[in-house]
Amino acid sequence: MVNLRYKWTPFLSYGQKLELKKNTFVYRQGENGRGFYYLGQGGVKISLLSDNGHERVIDYVPIGTLLGEHGAHRGTYLTTAVTTTPSILYHFSDEALSRVCKDHPHAAMIFTNSHIYKVRLLAEIISYLDSPVEHQMAHFLLKLIQIHENENIPINQTSFARYIGTSRITVNKIIQKWRQQGFIQFSNGVIQVIQIERIREILTQVESV
Amino acid sequence: MVSPFETDLKWETFLKYGKRQFVKGKSVIYYQGSLGDGFYYLHKGLVKIVTSTVKGKDRLLNIVVPGQLLGIQTMDRQTHFTTAIAVKDSVVYHFSCEQFAKLMKERPELLPLFAQTVNQKMRILLYAINMKALSSEEQIAALLLNICDEFKNYEVPLTQQDLAHCTGLTRITVYKILKQWKEDGLIDIEQRKFVIKRPDVLRKLNLSAPTAKTV
């Protein structure tokens, strides 16, 4: 992910700048594709809905990366993207993409790598599906630190539960446990990681079981 | 939904750029964790794609049928997150990253085709994630129907063990459900394959199969 950040920034002039309020849908699962987006500022969460109405958050988009690559080339949006704060995005239609690729042939590979990264992200979720919840929470918490480039993570327990695919109660139990152990602080929907090393240890401990 | 066959058949015209390889049944085409170079096109045979979870359990993700690509994720020159095993003797065409990157510059029409193929892989993985929200019966029904649709055939060449791996359910759960369905006349269990007799009934069980939706 780190090496994909800001790779697309040189091509922003080909896109259309959008200023979106909090809780705005960027695209919805099942809609016909109208191209893809670049997150310039703010935050976007990506979620997956099953037909029985179950929602699972699968990603929080890092600033400086692309989203909705599946909607390019007249594809279909496979997930839903919603802003979590007021955000600035850049929209790239299929025409814009082909103009970028024509002027800068290496852009095609940047787009493709970003697209493939999304497949890897899903594979990563699958590889943790059968892990204990504490293990999954530690893994995704470390990931959120990377995404936000900050140890204060704005996420409430309901959202965290949807990210892990479990109940809020289960998440709450572990958050309380970590708080008592002094690994984290939690207030007003912000998790502050105090002892990142201890969270990393949880991962290795469970792995060795 | 765009049939996987329609997009994949377009690859036929590019086969001359690939390197043909023969793979014996049960042998591995690439391993999870190994550094990949490029991808494969399955010309003949059958390949299963397995991933090992962090906990160390194997999970069958996908069955690749002729005309489809595998290993496409390593075009970013990172490691494979799956293992590909030939189920029977197969013929594949291998395309290296470098070759493909060059080809893409010469033939820009490849980019949309490649993107469609990546989307198809995404759909398979999203589907596996969604599976977790389904009941055991729904999971097995979804899986059987999905494979049926891919093979365009109501005989599914899998074992109960394969179904257990694929869904992450225990073999006993899979066995119980299949036994019930056999008694109800929905399926027949033969040596190393299942025959779907009442796909209509299974389809009602299975609201979340991606093939049942118009994507």
- The tens digit of pLDDT for each residue in B26-81 reads 899 999 999 888 899 999 888 888 888 888 888 888 888 888 899 988 888 889 99
Pair B100, B204 in one domain: no
CATH numbers and ranges of domains, chain A: 2-127 (2.60.120.10), 131-208 (1.10.10.10)
Nearest CA among B27, B22, B150 for reference residue B90? B22
Least Cα separation, residue A44 to chain B (angstroms): 19
The predicted pLDDT at position A207 comes to 53
pLDDT score of B101 more than 90: no
**Whether residue B211 has pLDDT greater than 50:** no
Express each pLDDT in A98-120 by its tens digit.
Answer: 999 999 988 988 999 999 999 99
Kindly identify which residue of chain B lies nearest to residue A205, measuring between CA atoms. Answer: B55
- Give the integer Cα–Cα distance in Å for B23 and B88: 8
| Residue A141: other Cβ atoms inside 10 A | 25
User: pLDDT tens for residues B91-100?
Assistant: 999 999 888 8
Contacting A residues, span 93-152, partner chain B, CB-CB under 8 Å: 98, 101-102, 105, 108-109, 111-113, 115-120, 122-131, 135
Last residue of a domain, one of B130, B162, B180: B130
What residue of B is the nearest CA neighbor of A102? B108
* Residue B122 and residue B198 in one domain: no
Q: Averaged over B156-170, what is the pLDDT? A: 80
Encoded tokens for B154: 């109501």
Residues B75, B160 within the same domain: no
pLDDT of residue B3: 43
Low-confidence residues in chain A, pLDDT < 50: 209
- Residue B115's CATH number: 2.60.120.10
pLDDT in tens, B9-32: 577 888 888 999 999 988 999 999
B22 and B122 housed in the same domain: yes
Are both B13 and B107 inside the same structural domain?
A: yes
Facing residue for B81 by CB, picked from A79, A115, A120: A120
Same domain? B30 vs B46: yes
Which amino acid does the sequence have at B157? P
Distance CA B153, CA B162 (A): 18
CA distance A38 to chain B (A): 17
The chain A residue lying nearest B97, using CA atoms, is: A109
What are the residues whose beta carbons fall under 8 Å from the beta carbon of B135, sequence distance 6 or more? Answer: none
Residues B18 and B93 in one domain: yes
Residue from A139, A122, A118 nearest A205 by CA: A139
Q: Please check the confidence at residue B104 and state whether its pLDDT lies above 90.
A: no
Interface contacts (A, B; CB < 8 Å)? 125
Q: What is the CATH number of the domain that holds B160?
A: 1.10.10.10
Interface test with B, best of A126, A136, A167, A206 (most B CBs within 10 A): A126
B132 pLDDT higher than 80? no
| Integer CA distances (angstroms), B102 to B108, B114, B119, B124, in order | 10, 14, 22, 28
**Mean pLDDT for all residues in chain B:** 82
At residue B7, does pLDDT exceed 70? no
Please judge whether A126 and B61 are an interchain contact, meaning their C-beta atoms are less than 8 angstroms apart: yes
User: Is the Cα torsion angle B141, A163, A30, B82 positive or negative in sign?
Assistant: negative
Q: Among all chains, which residue has been given the structure tokens 């395309």?
A: B95
> E strand or H helix at A176, and its extent?
helix A168-180
Number of independent structural domains in chain B: 2
Do B117 and B164 lie in a common domain?
no
Boundaries of domain holding B185: 135-212
Q: Contacts of residue A75 in chain B, CB cutoff 8 Å?
A: 115-116, 119
Cα B60 to Cα A149: distance, rounded to the nearest angstrom: 35
Task: Specify the pLDDT at position B8.
Answer: 54
Last residue of a domain, one of B130, B156, B187: B130
Does residue B103 share a domain with residue B29? yes
Are both B77 and B115 inside the same structural domain? Answer: yes
Looking at the fold, whether B159 and B116 belong to one and the same domain comes out as: no
The ipTM (two decimal places) reads 0.89
- Report the alpha-carbon distance of residue B211 to residue B187 in Å, rounded: 20
Q: Do B128 and A126 count as a contact with CB atoms less than 8 A apart?
A: yes
Do both B105 and B203 map to the same domain?
Answer: no
Find the closest chain B residue to A132 by CA distance: B55
Model pLDDT, residue B5: 45
pLDDT of residue B153: 77
Number of H helices, E strands in chain B: 7, 9
The predicted model scores a pTM of 0.84
Single residue among B130, B159, B186 that ends a domain in this structure: B130
- Give the Cα separation of B70 and B92 in Å (integer): 10
What is the rounded CA–CA span in Å between residue B212 and residue B215? 9
